[in-house]
Every structure is written in structure tokens, then in C-alpha cells.
A and B are shown apart, each in its own frame.
Chain A
Amino acid sequence: MTQPILSVIDLSVDLDLHRGFFGKSKPEQALNLLKEITFDLHAAETLGLVGESGSGKSTLARAIMGLQAISSGQISFEGHPVSAAKISHLRQGAAMMFQDPIGSLSPRMTVAALVTEPLVIHGQPKQSANTLLARVGLPPELADRYPHQLSGGQARRVCLARALALGPRLIVADEPTAGLDVSIQGEVLNLMTDLKDREGLSLLIISHNLAMLRHVSDRVAILYLGRLMETGPTEELFSRPMHPYTYSLIASEPQPDPRKRRDDLVIKGEIPSVLRRPSGCVFHSRCPIARDLCRKEEPALREVTTGRQVSCHFAEDFKNQQGERNELVHK
């Protein structure tokens, strides 16, 4: 098995709540955002990270890219451990695209300056901005514009051009299609997939848009309230979800086809606040198959079948019950 490009092991992130003048807060006063997240990403692979509010998906992206301090666990990029002190390897080999495309571009810099910024920072020879823009299908006329003069789609492509400037092996994209009309979502995604195929780029795409991820990702990981619920190859995960939350997510998606309307609600209740995380399994308060054990003991992420990891005490039971559920996931 070749070495994964990105390896995350037992990653936990806590937020200090009560900061004194100098010191850190006591452990009880820390807010847990992520707990023991473990996954791998291989070369030329796209991993989709799915989560709703409070899932910690953006925190995870920031932690991987070194913007967020981690409390425990390990991140390795291309075999090298990543820490606050040893981050230059990551900075040169990995890039990030942020959720707000226009907001992540420095407002008083032209597009040309923005896309060549990584080269300047790392002291690399200057490439023509137009070449970089052409890679993402943007015309040279945009080079003199300012971020607020770009449309959402154009701004995202500028962010992609900037991310590609140093020739990274990994791109982390936080909600790359948020705010984009359906008719142009494909523009950015197809570009990324194309580059991935041509240059062996790995992609970590964070989104709440299941339908989009289903087409773009090779594997998917599902997050809920800071815990990994399930991971697995995309098609298998979507057609045969093993975790009740995954199933609920997929079944909750509004269907454009009026003939597929469902009368019942698949999942009740709301996502609990991270300040009041449920005990035991964090999903037990909304889970259709929750039992006593779920309230008391938090399940570990374990491999139920090859390549499929699930964090549920009763994953096997759920798997067997699914034959009986006829209103399953779309197609």
C-alpha cells in the first residue's frame, strides 16, 4: 500500500473558553470541537467530507492546513509530520480554497498580484499571471480587476488558480460550490477533477451538498458534532449506508422528482449545540435505532467490512434492516 498523501490520526481540537491574561484554560473549560478523527487520503484521490452545522468540518480543514491549533493527534503530509514548528513542507505542497471566494482574496490586490502571491512568498521564479489564469480558463482581461469586481464563479476560479500556483499535491476545498448556481457549479468542479486526473492532485472537498459529492468524490467521510460517523467508497456509501445518520442525511435531501416525495420524516429533532453534546454516541438523541448502550458508551470507529468504517454499536443490525426499508436513497 503506497503511503497516503495525507494521514490524520486521532486528531482532536479543543477550544479554550476562558482565557486568562497569559494562561490557557483548565481542561474542563475547553470546548471540544473534534475528537479522534482518523482518516487517510491517497494520491490522485478525492475525499469528500460531509457535515452539517456543528460537525467541525471547517475546523478540520483549518487544523489540517495549520490555521487551527490541535490539542492531540497527528497530521502527516507526504510522510512528514506536520506541526506548528514544521510546517513549511505543507505550505509548499498543499493549498486551500476557502468558503468565501471573494472574501479570501485580499481586497486591494489585483487578480494578477493575487495569483502570483504564492510564488512571491516562496521566492519562486515569477510566472506570468496570464498563464496561471489560463489554467483555470480565465481570460487575461481579468488580471487587472479587483476581487469585488469579480462574480462568485470567477472569484472561485481565481482562488483555484492561486492554489495551483506552486504545483501542490493536495488541495483542500471548503464548500467549493456554496453560493454558486447549479448551472455553473460544474465549472469549478470539472476543472478540479480534470487537474486531478492530469496531475495526480489529491482533493479534500468539504461540503454539505451530498448530491454533488456523490459525483465528484472517490471516498466520503461523514462528520457529526465533531466525530467521524462513517467512511467508505462513495458509491457503496450512498447506496448502502451503514450508519443511521448517513442514511438520514441521504434520505432527507429534497428530491426534485415529485414522484419521489416522501410523507414521513426520516429524522426528527435538531442538531444539538456543541455546548451540550449528547453523552455516549453523539447521535443517539436523534437516532432511529438508539438503545441504552448508545446513551452510555461512545462507539469507536471500526472497520465493519473492507474499506468501510462505521462508528455505531449496531451497524450490522442496521445493515441487515435496510433490506426492509423500501424508500431508500435515491437511485
Chain B
Amino acid sequence: MNVPLLDIRGLHLDYNGKDGPAHALRGIDLTADAGEVIGIVGESGCGKSSLALAMTALLPRNAKVTSGEVRLSGQDILSMDASSQRAMRGSGVSMIFQDPMTAFNPVLTLGKQLVDFQRGTGLSRAERRTRAEEMLERVSLADPVAIMGRFVHEISGGMRQRIGIAAAMLNHPKVLIADEPTTALDVTVEAQIIHLLRGLRQDHHGAIVVITHHLGVVGELCDRVYVMYAGQVVETAPIDTLYHAAKHPYTQALIACDPANLTQKTRVLPTIAGRLPDMRAPPKGCSFADRCPIAQPVCMQVAPPRVDLTSDHSALCHMVQP
């Protein structure tokens, strides 16, 4: 059995705050194997951004991992010392950011930055330049040499994100994390970036993790999906199963609310009533119980179990049956 490239076990994360710690992640289990594209989907406050930071060991100072591990090829990156973590970034795990404009230094040329990003590789400057130019070509940018000499504000949004992808791929990371990769882009450009990310699967032999709130992006790109709510994974399944046979009420509601799914034109758009629980004092029962259409008394009182519906589909719910 291969060791999964990315293996998150029982991750619990708190943020220290004035009124007590906020429990942002409450027991996350997640794996990604080589060649897979995983989706992590959730709305604001679900904890997906914290998870992204944990995966790159870039947690802020007020964040505290109370238990659990984030294993990259078997090694827990959270317990490494700072220099090992630094070495791991870029070649172990790398990230494509939501806003490509601010992901780059505005006063350095793109070429200089792409060359700098390869600093730990031991290649000569010339070799690094060549590799950068090749990567720019791989992301379908015409005239890579000219782009190396430009600044980030001189190029368009779609090109910027392509360069962001190229930068993330430079050191052949084992795990490539894409954090809301298309949220800041126009629809027509979004389609191109999705197309590009799909094409990269051929070359990229590691795992790709796509974090987003957009079900459409997940539907287009991912093999398996984790649905997050209030710091927990409430359901995980292959994308087809998730879309056509979701079992967790939150997943079902989320899919139902997406206007792209509504077959008939409806004047009243569905919503999920209620609010997220206060993460400083999450409910002792199911976090979704107060907004759930099928909640029973047991849901309010007892934390839901993780029910394995099939070998690759599980949900955190009292009301589902395998």
C-alpha cells in the first residue's frame, strides 16, 4: 500500500482570541494520492483557509495545533523545525493563490522572482532561467522570454494566474494546493485556467488540492471531494457520487442552492436558513443540527459518527445509513 502523498490525521486547530480560543478545525482527516485531484469545498467560516495554511505550515502565530498531524510523504510537517519546513515548501508542497496580483512582488520582474523561487535546487542561474521559461511555455503563455522581463502589473489577470501556476510548479511539488484559483477571474478566463489545470495533470505526478467555495470549479476539476462545515469534514466522496448521490443534508442543501443546478427557473432561490455556530463554543451535538431539515433530538445532543457508506464515501451524520 502506497503511503499517500498528503495525509492529514485528526487535525485540531485553535485560534487564540480575546474571548477564548476559536476552534477552527475540529478533527480533519484527509488524504491525497499521487495523480489525484482533491477538492475541498465549503463556505466562509468552514475552516478551509486554515486548512490550506496548515498544509503549508504557514500558520499565523495565534494559531495552535492542539492535536493531529499533517503528513507529507509520511513526515509530519507541523512538528518539523522551521528550516526543514522552509526546505519543504516549493518542492514538497506549493501553492497557487487566489489573487495573483498580490502573490508577486510588485517591484521585481517576474523573471527574477521565478528564478529566485528555485533557490534551493542547486541549479545555476542559467539553468533556473531556462526552467522558468519552459514552465511559462507549459502554461500556454506566448513569448515567455518577454514575460520574464515584465512586472506583475503590466500583464493581464489571466496571464498572472498562469504565471502563478507556473511558479507553483517550478520545483515539481509533491502536493500542489490551489486556493480559490479562479475566484478573482472573469468567467471566460476562469474556463481557461480550469482547462489549464486539467492539462497539468498529465505532467504533474503529485497530488493537486483545490480549495474553493465554487461547486462548479470542483465539478470541473476534481476526482474526490471533501465538504467542510464548521471546521469538520461532513462528507467525502468521489465527485460523481457527491453530485448525484450526496447523503449529508448540508451537501444536499449546498448543491440545491447553487443556481446553476436549478432546472426550472424559480423566482425564489433556495437558501439555508440560520448561521454558522460560534466556533468558540461549538455545539456538543451536530454542528449543522440547527439548520438541518431532518434533524432529530439525538442530533442536538450527541456528536454525529462518521458513517462509511461505501469504501470511498463517508458522511458525518446520525441520519445516514450505509
Main secondary structure, interface of B, reads helix
A59 in contact (CB, < 8 A) = no
Hey, which chain B residues are within 8 Å of A265, CB to CB? 191-192, 195
Does A181 reach chain B (CB closer than 8 Å)? yes
Question: B221 to chain A: closest CB distance in Å?
Answer: 8
A220-263: CB near B (< 8 Å → 1, else 0) gives 00000000000000110000000000001100111111111100
Q: Establish whether residues B269 and A185, one from each chain, have CB atoms under 8 Å apart when the complex forms.
A: yes
Residue of B nearest to A265 (CB): B195
Q: Residue B156 contacts which of A215, A255, A273 (CB distance < 8 angstroms)?
A: A273
How distant is A56 from chain B, measured CB to nearest CB, in Å?
Answer: 14
> A252 touches which one: B190, B213, B253 (CB < 8 A)?
B190
Question: Is A84 in the interface zone, CB < 8 Å from B?
Answer: no
Select A256's contact among B158, B189, B255, beta carbons within 8 Å.
B255
Stretch at the interface among B61-69, B90-98, B259-267, B305-313: B259-267
CA distance A208 to B239 in the complex (A): 26
Bitwise interface map of B from 243 to 269 toward A, beta carbon under 8 Å scored 1, else 0? 110000000011101111111011111
Scoring B44, B191, B214, B216 by chain A CB atoms within 10 A of each residue's CB, the highest score goes to B191
A215 to B216, CA, bound (A): 17
List the count of A-B residue pairs having beta carbons below 8 Å apart.
127
Given A186-B271, A214-B259, A258-B239, answer yes or no on A271-B188 (Cβ-Cβ < 8 Å): yes
On whether the beta carbons of A183 and B188 are closer than 8 Å, the reply is no
Q: How far is the CA of A177 from the CA of B303 in the complex (A)?
A: 33
Q: Counting chain A CB atoms within 10 Å of each CB, which of B157, B240, B266, B269 scores highest? A: B269
Q: In the complex, what residues of A have CB within 8 A of residue B215's CB?
A: 182, 256
Asked if A183 and B43 sit within 8 Å, CB to CB, the answer is yes
| Inter-chain contact A268/B265, CB cutoff 8 Å | no
Chain A 293-331 near chain B by CB (<8 Å), digits 1 or 0 = 000000000000000000000000000000000000011
Q: Which of B192, B195, B254, B269 contacts A186 (CB 8 A)?
A: B269
Answer whether residue B170 sits at the interface, using C-beta atoms and an 8 A cutoff. Answer: no
| B199-239 near A? 1/0 per residue, CB < 8 Å | 00000000000000111111110000000000000000001
Q: Is B19 an interface residue (CB 8 A)?
A: no
Is A78 close to B, CB under 8 A? no
Please name all residues of chain B whose beta carbon is closer than 8 Å to the beta carbon of A258 when the two chains form the complex: 219-220, 239-240, 243
Q: Does B187 contact A (CB under 8 A)?
A: yes
Q: Is B302 an interface residue (CB 8 A)?
A: no
Contact indicator A267/B257 (Cβ below 8 Å): no
Name the CB-closest residue of B to A252: B191
Q: Cα distance A215–B217 when bound, in Å?
A: 21
CB within 8 Å for A255 and B260 given contacts A181-B44, A183-B272: yes
Q: Which residues of B contact A286 (CB under 8 A)?
A: 188
A183, A209, A212, A216 — which one has the most chain B CB atoms within 10 A of its CB? A183
Q: How far is the CA of A271 from the CA of B156 in the complex (A)?
A: 9
In the complex, which of the residues A214, A256, A266 contacts B191, with contact meaning CB atoms closer than 8 Å? Answer: A266
In the complex, how many angstroms separate the beta carbon of A252 from the nearest chain B beta carbon? 4
Given A52-B188, A183-B43, A267-B191, A255 contacting B216 (CB threshold 8 A): yes
Residues of B near A53 (CB, < 8 A) are 157, 186
CA distance A146 to B212 in the complex (A): 30
A257 to B221, CA, bound (A): 11
- Please tell me if the beta carbons of A183 and B271 are within 8 angstroms of each other in the complex: yes
With A182-B43, A183-B271: A256-B188 Cβ-Cβ less than 8 Å: no
The yes or no answer to A210 lying at the interface (CB within 8 A) is yes
Contacts of B186 in A (CB 8 A): 52-53, 208, 271
Question: Which residue in A184, A212, A248, A330 is a CB contact (below 8 Å) of B188?
Answer: A248
Q: Does B159 contact A (CB under 8 A)?
A: yes
Complex Cα distance A69/B239, Å? 49
Q: Which residues of A contact B158 (CB under 8 A)?
A: 270
CA distance A252 to B156 in the complex (A): 19
A212-B259, A235-B265 are known contacts. Are A184 and B156 too (CB-CB below 8 A)? no
Chain B residue numbers with a CB within 8 Å of A249 are: 187-188
Task: Name which residue of chain B comes closest to A183, CB basis.
Answer: B272
Q: How far is the CB of B23 from chain A (nearest CB, A)?
A: 19
Q: What 1/0 flags go to A177-203 for Cβ under 8 Å of B?
A: 000011111110110010000000000
Closest to B225 in A: A258
Q: Is the CB of B187 within 8 A of A256?
A: no
Q: Which of A152-186 contact B (CB under 8 A)?
A: 181-186
Task: Give residues of chain A (270-296) contacting chain B, Cβ–Cβ below 8 Å.
Answer: 270-271, 273, 286
B74 at the interface (CB under 8 A from A): no
Cα-based distance from A221 to B189 in the complex (angstroms) = 20
Knowing A248-B188, A258-B240 are in contact, say whether A186-B220 is a contact too (CB < 8 A). no
Chain B neighbourhood of A190, CB < 8 A:
268-269, 271
Q: Does B270 have its Cβ within 8 Å of any Cβ on chain A?
A: yes
Q: Is B194 an interface residue (CB 8 A)?
A: yes
Contacts of B239 in A (CB 8 A): 258
- B189:A254 contact, CB within 8 angstroms: no
Q: Select one of B43, B159, B243, B266 contacting A257, CB under 8 A.
A: B243
Could you list 17 examples of A-B contacts with CB < 8 Å? A52-B187, A52-B188, A181-B44, A182-B257, A183-B43, A183-B257, A186-B270, A190-B269, A208-B186, A216-B267, A253-B216, A256-B255, A257-B261, A258-B220, A261-B219, A267-B188, A270-B188
Listed from nearest, the 10 A-B pairs whose CB atoms lie closest are: A254-B216, A186-B269, A186-B271, A252-B191, A256-B219, A52-B186, A183-B272, A256-B215, A181-B43, A211-B259
Q: What would 19 more interface pairs be, CB under 8 Å, given A182-B254, A193-B268, A211-B260?
A: A182-B213, A182-B257, A185-B271, A186-B269, A187-B271, A211-B258, A211-B259, A214-B259, A216-B267, A252-B191, A253-B191, A254-B194, A256-B261, A257-B219, A257-B261, A258-B243, A265-B191, A267-B188, A271-B189
